[in-house]
Amino acid sequence: MRRDDEVCSSISSVIESIGTSKGALVWASSAFTGYYSALAICKRLDPGSDNCDNMAKAIAGGISVVFASVNYNYKGDADAVQSRDVGTKGMVASVHAALVADGHTFGGVHDITQHVLGQYGPDDRKPLQVTRIAGLIHAASNHTGNYDVYDFGDGEGHVHIPVSAGLENTNSSGSARALEKRVNGAGFKISYTTRLGSLLNPGHKVDMANAIANHWASWATGTVRRQGYTYYNKDLIGFVETGHAANFYFRVSAGNGELG
């Protein structure tokens, strides 16, 4: 019987409800080669650990950044998002304002677009803007880290966690070495598509981000059996909604290649 390199599983699980808002999981992928699994990446980034509990702190911070991305992309139309591109304020000012509005403590927001664009090939899809959020403290865990936000326009983007120092990275702007290349090697990113603004208050956004990250950490240590083979959990897909309208969709991905 032919073995697949990767398999997908359908999930229908609400992991957190706060008022009319819910965080839910819908899909997961698992890899036959354990080297590419979420748990394997956690172990390489957090030596001595046999789980993803510490990395969950960084993932929670990343989900909080996605909430902020919803804020700066969302234009305030209660019925539809007419445009989710970054406006005239620019991404740095907009992300900074969104983080402040959500009550976050952080060192600064920096434009690193030119540092990373040169590392893309002519046929690669390139981000419109890239910002680094330096020294973001996630309130629920007190984890401090840097997060790179890639904006591809129309509400699409991803948050890369520079986990070369992902558990303790507090550099105010990031080293030149970290900025002047696309991200290669082991790491995590959270891809997202924004829709409508969230009604959650700042504290509840932190609670939701923490619930998603903790569930991810538990899931990351698991495996699935398919046609007699064992597959190791790799990527997790879900969404956050208000009522029955999505605020954003997300995918937490583990990888050993380019994540930028």
Residues 120 and 182 sit within 8 Å (Cβ to Cβ):
yes
Which pLDDT score, from 0 to 100, does residue 212 have?
A: 95
Cβ atoms within 10 A of the Cβ of 116, count?
A: 21
Secondary-structure breakdown of the chain: helix, strand, coil percentages, each rounded to the nearest 5: 30, 35, 35
- Give the phi and the psi of residue 252 in degrees, each rounded to 5: -90, 115
What is the value of pTM for the model shown?
Answer: 0.84
Residue 72: pLDDT band by 50, 70, 90 thresholds? low
- Kindly indicate the confidence band of residue 2, based on its pLDDT and cuts at 50, 70 and 90: low
Q: What is the model's pLDDT at position 174?
A: 42
pLDDT score at 49: 86
The reported pLDDT for the residue numbered 45 is 82
Structure-token match 């879900």, residue found: 238
CA distance 117 to 242: 35
- How many of the other CB atoms lie within 10 Å of CB of 206? 23
Query: Is-contact 26 168, C-beta < 8 A?
Result: no
**13: DSSP letter:** E
> Residue 257 CA to chain centroid, in angstroms?
16
How big is the CA angle at 203 (ends 63 and 193), to the nearest 5 degrees? 30
